[in-house]
């Protein structure tokens, strides 16, 4: 199992990164990304610390952990510059907190994110056709999430991704140990969102493909 969208106490998660990774390992995960929430106030604080702790965790050899960020509730006009800054500072995975239907994310966030140098658009809510097409054209992954609330629009995201052949990726958006689902639960959620077995296999392979790219 792979989860490329998680949170530690450096944003709104419950656990320090070491325990987060250990809990993930105990739940059957082999690869993790720690992608704490950032904006202009904390990006220079978060990234160096996540990079440092990921290095220490990786030295232990139990689980592979990548450093990342989730750009969250930032004005759409500022997303591209912040994504570039995160990349320059060494973040391996750039996630943007998409326009989930359960939070007042600024309108235009999805589109601005998809025009930026990012890897994953998380829980993008009521994704438009223009946004879906752009995700497909730019090879940015659209997230199917197991997280409560954010998962309400999974079916719509799948529908739009299928229509425009955009790439899907499944993440837990884990904030606590209880958020890590096993493979069977993940498959049930994906099937409920409208994916068949073949499409699910492609989605899970997308996670592996992204990890291979990160390791180059």
Residue-by-residue pLDDT tens, the chain, 216 positions: 999 999 999 999 999 999 999 999 999 999 999 999 999 999 999 999 999 999 999 999 999 999 999 999 999 999 999 999 999 999 999 999 999 999 999 999 999 999 999 999 999 999 999 999 999 999 999 999 999 999 999 999 999 999 999 999 999 999 999 999 999 999 999 999 999 999 999 999 999 999 999 886
Q: What pLDDT shows up at residue 151? A: 98
**Range(s) of the domain holding residue 65:** 2-215
| Tokens 């750009």 found at | 71
Q: How many domains does the chain have?
A: 1
Residues 6+ apart with CB under 8 A from 77: 112
Whole-angstrom Cα distance, residue 141 to residue 114?
Answer: 10
Record the tokens describing residue 29, joined without a space: 């995960």
- Assign residue 83 the CATH number of its domain: 3.20.20.140
- Please say whether the beta carbons of 76 and 110 come within 8 A: no
Give the 3-state secondary structure of residue 7. Answer: coil
Dist CA 64 CA 92 (whole Å): 13
Q: Which of 186, 134, 187 is nearest to 163 (CA)?
A: 134
Threshold 0.85, pTM exceeds? yes
Supply the pLDDT for residue 215.
80
- Conformational region of residue 80, where left means phi above 0, alpha means psi within -120 to 50, and beta covers everything else: alpha
């Amino acid at each position: 199992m792979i989860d490329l969208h998680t949170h530690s106490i450096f944003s709104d998660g419950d656990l320090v990164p070491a325990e987060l990774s250990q809990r993930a390992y105990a739940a059957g995960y082999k690869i993790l990304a720690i992608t704490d929430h950032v904006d202009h106030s904390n990006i220079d604080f978060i990234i160096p610390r996540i990079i440092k702790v990921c290095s220490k965790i990786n030295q232990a050899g139990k689980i592979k952990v990548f450093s990342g960020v989730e750009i969250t509730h930032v004005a759409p006009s500022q997303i591209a510059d912040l994504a570039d800054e995160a990349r320059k500072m060494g973040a391996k995975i750039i996630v943007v907190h998409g326009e989930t239907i359960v939070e007042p994310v600024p309108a235009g966030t999805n589109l601005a994110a998809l025009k930026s140098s990012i890897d994953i658009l998380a829980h993008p809510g009521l994704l438009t056709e223009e946004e879906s097409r752009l995700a497909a054209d730019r090879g940015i992954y659209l997230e199917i999430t197991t997280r409560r609330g954010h998962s309400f629009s999974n079916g719509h995201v799948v529908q739009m991704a299928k229509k425009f052949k955009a790439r899907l990726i499944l993440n837990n958006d884990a904030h606590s140990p209880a958020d890590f689902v096993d493979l069977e639960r993940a498959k049930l959620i994906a099937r409920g969102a409208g994916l068949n077995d073949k499409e699910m296999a492609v989605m899970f392979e997308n996670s592996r493909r992204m990890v291979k790219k990160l390791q180059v």
